[in-house]
Structure 1
Amino acid sequence: MVETPAARLFSLLEVLQARPSATGAELAEALGVTQRTLRRYVQRLVDLGIPVDSERGPYGGYRLRPRFRLPPLMLTADEAVAVTLGLAVGQRLGVGAAVPAAAAALAKLLRVLPDALRERVAALQDSLGVVVPPQRAADVDPSVLADLGAAAGLRRRVRFVHRSAGGSDRQRSVDPYGVVFHAGRWYLVGHDHLRADLRTFRLDRLRDVTTTGERFTPPDDFDPVAHLVRSLAEVPYGWDVEVVLHIDIEAARRLIAPTVGTIEPHPQGALLRVGAESPQSAARHLVMMGVPFTVIHPDEVRQALRDLAAEALKAATATLYPGSTGGGSGESDPHGR
């Protein structure tokens, strides 16, 4: 997309805002123009009432006058489309804390855009489709989400009251390592001083969140997303199931989501460890994967597979109409199929 002179003026203003001072050569390179053209753009900003100070000499340059306040929002056409996409997709995916604010932000964005761009962005919003079905996200106060995210970024300890799944409340002091959105829920990952260990907390179960002045240093190369995925995969279920998938390890990792179970190399393929609510649910999910496998334990899953096979065989040989063969053509079919 070719930038117009107006768009370059906005770009120049952004660069000046981001840098305390910049030389003419640096600004010209950033905008992709000659220094002569740059001087015209600078003069245009001055004519519009924006105080750009210039300093002559080999070490001179341009800077915005200190304490000058820029307009609150300036977006190019591509930036407006990008913001619209982010807000709209967040709504469709059920990012609960952002849904009400996203709708308000989109409305404000449309009000301040130029007419031609407003029509383009509105049309994009109306026609946007997301294949992933919307999820009912747990309600989270956006201010809580912002506070925890800021505390993680600034490495400040937080305190809050956490409500357990059983309904009991307890004060926690946590070093927040990151905030993660997964499957309709927001999670805080960090070091819990009460348990002296890494813990994961659902944000919709937190209240009275405060940031303290205490600082912390997170572990080197810690990945909050990877930790959450492992934590969810290790949630205890009623049944622990071990299965060898007779496919290579990479194919197994593509097939099994990290939140479902753990995958390890095995001499005959890949070893899957997964939790299940019942042997029957484990059997159904294993069959649905569509790959050869061998159950290591428990025996109850083997029995559930035999029962499932018997049901499948019964369905395969059942008929709807007398004289038909397994649902195929038959003269008894009143529709002549």
Structure 2
Amino acid sequence: MDRTERILDLVALLLDAREPISWAELREHFPADYGGSDDAAERKFERDKAELVELGFPLSYVQGDDERRDGYLVDRNVYYLPEADLTKEELAVLYAAGSAALASGAFPGRDDLAHALRKIGFFAGESLPTPRVRMELGTGQQGQEKEVSARLEQLWDACSAHKWAQLTYGSPRKDGVTERRVDPYGLALRRGVWTLVGYCHLRQGLRTFHVHRIRELKVNTARPRTPDFEVPADFSLDAHVAYYPWQYRFHEPLEVTLQLTGPQASRAGSLFPGAALEPVSDGVVRARFPVTFLDGLTRFVLSLGQDCRVEGPPEARERLERMAANILAKHAPVEGQRVSA
């Protein structure tokens, strides 16, 4: 029996056991592998046990007492995930989201996702309709689905195994590329754009990288079971990848207060998720939230029209007024130019 087969059989035996399995019983179940001299058998089992532990298998040795014997036992509460207990409607939504991601052509862990969708279909107890939704990549990435998909798979594995990656990265601000060695902490999808967050050895700090701007990618394959780095316990993807334009981290957080009226007042919660909302009067809502990119906010506020205005702080109002003035100046008719009706 080869080692892989032995490990799988060992896992099946331990999961099926309701009582601790002694070393003597293990030798009886695997006479060809754990037979022979005691020293050789114990060394082989120790290697197998170390591999199981490395794979996250919660195997432990329990000391016997009056109620049970000593031996090896699996902690089932750690090994098995709790029941999700989702309704059929919730399963349908989850299935639709997963199917849209799979159909996009660029999603990491595609095989795992496809397997999960088959499980959802099975547990739903009936045929789930094929959802008429599709997750598209953002502007500027069309035609790169295959390249982005391949890089996502590599980065997914690198993030999971904690292996560093060498990137040839194209800057969005200037021509040319830079070589970066990065410890990949995680991947995030925001508004159709996949972003890698990790520690950049060139810049000596955490940086974000748009996956479609990675020209070449090579993941460290040396000692594949040994992690190259540890992700800090306080690391959070949401702190580094923005959902909304005003969340890009270009300056220190600044609390901005907006006043929304008319139709926009009823949409305040969906327009500015996470904002502290305060009803001012009938049809008027005040929203407060931190902003780290004023230009991103002012552009969005201008798009909402007269039903959304900036109350404070002064620098936010001034930035909005300057941007509005620049737009008016740019689109003002030139003297002597005829304006078509």
Q: Name the TM-score class by shorter chain.
A: 0.3 to 0.5
If the length of structure 2 is used for normalisation, what is the TM-score? 0.47
If the length of structure 1 is used for normalisation, what is the TM-score? 0.48
The structure having more radius of gyration, on CA atoms, is 1
